[in-house]
């Protein structure tokens, strides 16, 4: 009969941190959230160290090039999704790597033959009020004008009005030539009181926008994560089927780190993928692997040469693997066991292989719990899917804005490579759902709030760094009644949306 583990597997919500002594030196501004992304030998420095312990999930509805830039500005890393053609993924990586701080590739573009209704639909989908009008309606077409909210009045114009009739035409625009420095561009913006300055090539094609609002934003990102050439650090997802074509293209595009995207990583398929990469690139290409939920899975991938190991099966908000296949483990229990094995592996070999907690994060404080349990960083899907920078559409349902969010195992994504067991090249059944998540605004504002909570809790535990948190943290299991007690209870809460006169 099967081996039975009679101890229940626990989730993050079943644990609390017990406060420890906090000295007067332990204040949020003094806390460092630096953490290793890839493995290193004892006494050496990791090839990549993040400034915050957050990476974005390898998902179509989460990690595009725009989110990769936004997260790198905050100090984390985005893993651009691999469920697309090799060429398209490589192009996303290249765009993120070639992104110049302050120079933004336009993702709100329209043709002059489009209508006001098209403009409003585009604005509703992207949230952007500045729309580039190009000959072919693409971000790289010849610029013929710009549309902003000052160019039209919905109440006085017919929806079928052509864009060419109300746009600000090119000959009335203030623009700058390709090659203009960011300082020069900002000077032009301030001199002419502009909100946006288009940067145009000699042939008249739109290259970038420089926005007034981004000037202060650039000054507010002291933790941005850059490579040796001052470009943003960018990750990319790969699979265990077409790695021989995908890996070289992603490396050529500039990807700093790769990660095998798989629902279950304790397999020969990941071993073969890692062996192929090591044989051709040695340790110069950094690649994470997973997912696993126990010590044996971790050691297998560490021995295969993984640069970090992801932990978690079935805990994602859109994942139904546990329902459909009956495999997985409570995220907290899985993480605690794997991190203990990570520490044993370090003692035995002198090689530290970082652990990524992937899935099961519902509340901000779960991030702190994951770090205290031993994780070096967390991978988040639903969390990042809610933001302006994610690739999915923003939709209005019943007067409330949401972002679309779907699992890689859903019929919509059909990412069969992620669930590959060496059989047919198709998705036999769904392991994810198609859903919506409440729209939450910009990545910058939300990440700042989340990290302020993490730092505050670390202060309560008397820890100034993540390793110190892991050393000092005391965790306690809580009962179902304690969980209820931890929230607002036995009161009638005020409706904060009500206006009193």
Catalytic residues, by residue number, are 319, 418
Structure tokens at 431: 């392991």
* Strand runs labelled E in 228-364: 235-238, 257-260, 287-292, 309-311, 351-352, 355-358
CB 132 within 8 A of CB 146: yes
**ω into residue 291 within 30 of 0, thus cis?**
yes
Q: Is 383 left (phi over 0), alpha (psi -120 to 50) or beta?
A: alpha
417/99 Cα distance (integer angstroms):
29
Q: What are phi and psi of 392, to 5 degrees?
A: -80, 165
CB 236 within 8 A of CB 89: yes
Structure tokens at 99: 């992104």
359/267 Cα distance (integer angstroms):
20
CB 103 within 8 A of CB 232: no
Structure tokens at 206: 């739109």
Report long-range pairs for 140-143 (Cβ below 8 Å, ≥24 apart): 140/205, 140/206, 141/109, 141/205, 141/206, 142/203, 142/204, 142/205, 142/206, 143/170, 143/173, 143/175, 143/198, 143/200, 143/204, 143/205, 143/206
Taken in order 12, 16, 18, 20, the sign of the CA dihedral is positive
Distance of CA 384 to the CA centre of its chain: 5
The H-assigned helical ranges of 210-306 are 212-219, 243-253, 268-281, 295-304
Q: How many CA atoms lie within 13 A of 81 on its CB side?
A: 24
């Amino acid at each position: 009969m099967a081996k039975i583990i009679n101890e229940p597997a626990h989730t993050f919500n079943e644990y609390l941190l017990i406060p420890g002594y906090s000295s007067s030196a332990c204040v949020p501004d003094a806390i460092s959230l630096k953490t290793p992304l890839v493995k290193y030998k004892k006494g050496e420095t990791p090839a990549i160290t993040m400034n915050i312990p957050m990476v974005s999930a390898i998902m179509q509805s989460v990690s595009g090039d725009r989110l990769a830039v936004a997260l790198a500005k905050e100090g984390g890393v985005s893993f651009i999704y691999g469920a697309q053609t090799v060429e398209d993924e490589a192009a996303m990586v290249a765009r993120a790597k070639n992104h110049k701080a302050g120079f933004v590739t336009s993702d709100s573009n329209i043709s002059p033959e489009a209508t006001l209704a098209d403009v409003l639909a585009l604005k509703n989908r992207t949230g952007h009020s500045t729309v580039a009008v190009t000959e072919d309606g693409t971000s790289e077409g010849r610029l013929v004008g710009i549309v902003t909210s000052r160019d039209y009045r919905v109440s006085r114009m017919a929806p079928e009005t052509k864009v060419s009739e109300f746009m600000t035409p090119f000959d009335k625009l203030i623009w700058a030539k390709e090659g203009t420095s960011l300082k020069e561009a900002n000077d032009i913006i301030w001199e002419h009181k502009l909100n946006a300055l288009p940067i145009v090539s000699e042939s008249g094609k739109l290259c970038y926008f420089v926005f007034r609002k981004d000037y202060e934003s650039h000054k507010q990102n002291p933790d941005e994560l850059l490579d040796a050439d001052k470009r943003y650090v960018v990750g990319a997802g790969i699979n265990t089927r077409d790695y021989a074509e995908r890996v070289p293209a992603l490396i050529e595009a500039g990807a700093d780190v790769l990660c095998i995207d798989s629902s279950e990583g304790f397999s020969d398929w990941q071993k073969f993928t890692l062996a192929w990469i090591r044989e051709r690139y040695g340790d110069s290409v950094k690649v994470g692997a997973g997912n696993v939920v126990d010590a044996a899975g971790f050691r297998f991938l560490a021995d295969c040469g993984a640069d970090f190991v992801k932990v978690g099966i079935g805990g994602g908000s859109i994942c139904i693997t546990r329902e459909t296949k009956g495999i997985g483990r409570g995220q907290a229990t899985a993480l605690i066991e794997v991190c203990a094995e990570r520490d044993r592996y370090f003692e035995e070999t002198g090689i530290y292989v970082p652990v990524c907690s992937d899935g099961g994060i519902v509340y901000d404080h779960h991030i702190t719990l994951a770090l205290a349990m031993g994780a070096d960083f967390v991978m988040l899907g639903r969390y990042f899917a809610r933001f302006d920078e994610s690739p999915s559409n923003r939709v209005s349902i019943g007067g409330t804005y949401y972002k679309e969010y779907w699992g890689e195992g859903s019929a919509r994504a059909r990412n069969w490579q992620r669930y590959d067991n060496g059989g047919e090249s198709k998705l036999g059944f769904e392991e994810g759902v198609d859903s919506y998540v409440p729209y939450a605004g910009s990545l910058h504002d939300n990440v700042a709030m989340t990290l302020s909570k993490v730092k505050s809790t670390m202060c309560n535990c008397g820890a100034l760094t993540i390793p110190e948190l892991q050393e000092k943290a005391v965790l306690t299991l809580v009962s179902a009644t304690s969980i209820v007690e931890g929230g607002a209870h036995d009161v009638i809460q005020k409706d904060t949306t009500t206006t009193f006169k």
